[in-house]
Amino acid sequence: MTLGFLARYREVGLLILRVGVGAIFLKTGWPLISNPDKWQGLGEALSAVGFTPSPTVAKVFGFLAALSQFGGAICLILGFLFRPACILLAGTMAVALAMHLKGGDPFGVLMPSLESLIVFVSLMFIGPGKISIERE
């Protein structure tokens, strides 16, 4: 018996994961969503995936990235619109990862984006679990 009894707490573990990751993204997303001056720079990160937007379009995409991080974190915590939120968060993290890779950043710098991308893709398949607003 190697801690097999913990399997009965699967839903609690998933809740802890959702709330923990969601809280981190609330904390990192708030400065982005609350500061319109950062939106253009966020949107310009799309150039890492081959799309170089105009300043106005960059600002729109930057706002959408910030909304994805902050609003997606709320959805993650509540387990509401869970899979769409995971898809948007994974997309945001994929662009962030591409930006770091294109910039030649060391692994330690790109690692949070990569880890988050893996978590959101995994959660997209797993779902929010039973302890959530959304019922599967």
pLDDT tens, N- to C-terminus, the chain (136 residues): 688 888 899 999 999 999 999 999 999 999 999 999 999 999 999 999 998 999 999 999 999 999 999 999 999 999 999 999 999 999 999 999 999 999 999 999 999 999 999 999 999 999 999 999 987 6
pTM comes to 0.92
* 131 falls within a domain: no
* 2 falls within a domain: no
* 43 falls within a domain: yes
**Rounded alpha-carbon distances, angstroms, from residue 63 to 28, 55, 79:** 14, 12, 23
Q: Which two tokens stand for residue 83?
A: 């899979």
State the total domains in the chain: 1
Q: What are phi and psi of 104, to 5 degrees?
A: 70, 25
* 29 falls within a domain: yes
* 6 falls within a domain: no
Domain assignment of residue 38, given as a range: 12-126
